[in-house]
Amino acid sequence: MQDRILNKARELMFQTGVKHVTMDDLATQLGISKKTIYQYFKDKDALVGSVVEFELANHALLCNQSTQAADNAVHEIFLLMSVIQEMFNRMNPLALFEIEKYYPLAFDKIKKHKDDIIFSMISSNLEKGIAEGLYRKDVDITILSKYRLETSLIPFNIHVFHPSKFDLLKVNLQIIEHFVYGVATLEGHKLMDAYKLSNHTK
């Protein structure tokens, strides 16, 4: 039952936004009482925290799979872009903004994931790309990893890219491409162009 509640909560929160989903909505959708929900989650804050934990674990798994499947550092970026695209296809773009504003404990989990898992992933990709000759040797891995880490949240800043005016998936992918072209060697640029062409002709 706990997994059933969690999965339905994820579905509703990503469809309509986190704040607008009430425990009453969730109980109605599941055909159970609110009392049953509270047996597993003491309040909505706890439920949102569990949804975030589940999503972050899934994100880490998909990223790891992309890393393992990649032929090289640039290919890894393209596989990760597919992960991001899948996430945007099922997530309300305001969800992260709402979590940051209304559920600080849950957002702390996101920040920790960003600072630990994603930072390590970016650093490893840069190291791999430099070793493969696809990224410039003069790239400072720590500086550029922190830079990329912070720019990863820019698309979710509604004061900069409001969902009513921008396609947030496009914003995200544009920022990633800009970063890769900035650190890539000529050989890396050629690979990037080839992967983009292949992606567009599928």
The residue range of the domain holding 80 is 45-200
- The dihedral over CA atoms of 135, 140, 143, 147, expressed in degrees to the nearest 10, equals -20
Residue 6 in domain: no
DSSP assigned state of 115? I
Residue 81 in domain: yes
Residue 32 in domain: no
Total domains present in the chain: 1
Residue 83 in domain: yes
Give the three-state DSSP class for 33: coil
CATH number of 168's domain: 1.10.357.10
The pLDDT value recorded for residue 200 is 54
What tens-digit pLDDT sequence spans the chain (202 residues)? 999 999 999 999 988 889 989 999 999 999 999 999 999 999 999 999 999 999 999 989 999 999 999 999 999 998 988 888 787 777 777 788 899 999 999 999 999 999 999 999 999 999 999 999 999 999 999 999 999 999 988 888 888 998 889 998 899 889 999 999 999 999 999 999 998 887 654 4
